[in-house]
Amino acid sequence: MSEKIEIIEGARVGIFGGTFNPLHMGHVNVITTVHGRLNLDNVVVVPAAQNPLKAAVEGPNHEQRVEMLHRGLDEFPYVIVDDQELHRGGVSYTIDTVKAYSEKVAPENLYLIVGLDQFEEFDKWKDFEKILTLANLVVVTRPKHSLPFSEEDMPKGLKSLVAVFDRQFVALTTGRSIEFVRLQDIDVSASEVRKRLRTGRNVDKFISIKVEEYLREQGLFAPLGPRIGDYEAFTHFCAQALFERKAINVRGFDLRPTEAPTEFTLIASGTSTRHASSLAEAVMRAVKDEYNVFPQSLEGSQEGRWVVLDYGALIVHVFYDFVRQEYRLEDLWRQGKDLQIKEAPAPQPAKS
């Protein structure tokens, strides 16, 4: 915890971490509700350093994320924005942040706040048992995720730590507790907000005016369309980047005649997971060089089984060919127009 951050002795402190990419009303709802319900003195908001692989995705840099959090949360005087994970860099582990706070805040007064989606995976977090000796856990509801009804529904690794299970409240053998807080749910996620911003749709209900103004001021999450221009040409451009890296079975479709959520799609295979990941990287590099654009999101590139690059109106799917057979996405796109993608002939050496 940074020297600058002042927490008074005996304060009850909540830690709320996330990527906040961007900060949305779901986050604000968590902060204000838990602050009131648990009678906390401070809620510390800790933006996570991004996974190095995700850094290539469009979005705010570290400084911009911190500034966005300040602007979006400055009306709540009990909120502290702590950028320690950004300073540490690399992959962020909550245990390190909790340890830092445990030097100033007694375990009974320290609360780690997570959404139900995170709680379901909590037993995979680094040193989760240690976290549950240094801090209590507060779990807030999130649409499409259900609260555990009984000990049986708890994440597997947590079951052995349960001393008493009482629906809203679980006493743990570590001396700490897990409290479930029901929110007036706001069905919003950062990914949904990003999509809306990218496609120029209204986000009034999802992010505050101050955050929206800041994003606009900084040109963040602006629609990619104007930078990419003709998406059909862009699809062919990406296909050539795939061919250059020996992609197999490259096909492209114009999905505008269909109900699909995107306009164009490209699908290709690599002969191994490694090959598939390197194909996706090749597309990203070529697009960055030519259009100065990063994808809005990148999924699956570590495993290389099915990598998805989202360029707004174009989604690129790169498969390990063996996995592609399982999903047969082309069958879904039969109503679209096949773009008859072909490898461009290699440029001929100039005659002297």
Nearer to ligand ATP (CB atom), residue 203 or residue 238: 203
Written in H, E and C, the secondary structure of the chain is CCCCCCCCCCCCEEEEEECCCCCCHHHHHHHHHHHHHCCCCEEEEEECCCCHHHHHCCCCCHHHHHHHHHHHHCCCCCEEECCHHHHHCCCCCHHHHHHHHHCCCCHHHEEEEEEHHHHCCHHHCCCHHHHHHHCEEEEECCCCCCCCCCHHHCCHHHHHHEEEEECCEEEECCCCEEEEECCCCCCCCHHHHHHHHHCCCCCCCCCCHHHHHHHHHHCCCCCCHHHHCCHHHHHHHHHHHHHHCCCEEEEEEECCCCCCCCCEEEEEEECCHHHHHHHHHHHHHHHHHHHCCCCCEEECCCCCCEEEEECCCEEEEEEEHHHHHHHCHHHHCCCCEECCCCCCCCCCCCCC
Residue 155: Cβ-neighbour burial (10 angstroms; 0-12, 13-18, 19+) = middle
Contact 97, 15 (CB under 8 A): yes
Q: Residue 135 or 238: which CB sits closer to ligand ATP?
A: 135
Whichever of 52 and 229 has its CB closer to ligand ATP, that residue is 52
CB 163, min distance to ligand ATP, A: 24
Closer by beta carbon to ligand ATP, 194 or else 251: 194
- Residue nearer to ligand ATP on the CB measure, 20 or 264: 20
**Closer to ligand ATP at the Cβ: 174 or 189?**
189
Phi first, then psi, for residue 213 (nearest 5°) are -60, -45
Residues that bind ligand ATP (CB under 6 A): 18-21, 26-27, 30, 114-115, 117-118, 140, 142, 183, 186, 188-191
Q: Among residues 119 and 253, whose Cβ is nearest to ligand ATP?
A: 119
Of residues 184 and 340, the one with the C-beta less far from ligand ATP: 184
Min. distance of Cβ 118 from ligand ATP in angstroms?
A: 4
Enumerate the β-bridge partners of residue 248.
Answer: 269
Min dist CB 18 to ligand ATP, Å, is 2
Residue whose CB is less far from ligand ATP, 151 or 187: 187
Shortest Å, Cβ 274 to ligand ATP: 27
Chain position whose Cβ is nearest to ligand ATP: 115
Q: Least distance in Å: CB of 348 to ligand ATP?
A: 47
Whether the Cβ atoms of residue 242 and residue 282 lie closer than 8 Å to each other: yes
Distance CA 96, CA 77 (A): 25
